[in-house]
Amino acid sequence: RSSDLKLKKFFLLEEENKLVFDYVGKNRFYTKREILSSHKDFNKVIIGAHPEDYYFRVVIQTKEKVEKYKVEINKEKDKTITIQKKIK
């Protein structure tokens, strides 16, 4: 689904098995955490606001090392992000 959100930055925290997405926005909300116990690839999703710095962060914790996942960011068309396990 298309979004008006603008991705500011994407990076990996390899030691913690996390994919981190920072979006532009001065939103104020309490941090939200969701445990994904039944998901085959992801453990947890955390969304937190950083309004003083004009962004909010989405963190996805993977069950395996982040290097095993391929992240495609389509900034042009519909702004979708696809996360797939890499084929060996």
pLDDT at 51 (0 to 100): 81
Per-residue pLDDT of the chain (88 residues; tens, 9 = 90+): 456 788 899 999 999 999 999 999 888 888 999 999 999 999 999 999 988 888 999 999 999 999 999 999 987 766 789 999 988 7
- pTM for the whole thing? 0.86
Classify 75 as helix, strand or coil.
Answer: coil
For residue 1, what pLDDT is reported? 47
Q: Is 25 left (phi over 0), alpha (psi -120 to 50) or beta?
A: left
* pLDDT (0 to 100) of residue 78: 65
Distance CA 77, CA 88 (A): 29
Give phi and psi for 79, each to the nearest 5: 60, 30
User: Cα-atom radius of gyration of the chain, to the nearest Å?
Assistant: 13
**Closest C-alpha among 81, 80, 11, 18 to residue 44:** 18
What distance in Å separates the CA atoms of residue 32 and residue 68, rounded to the nearest whole number?
Answer: 26
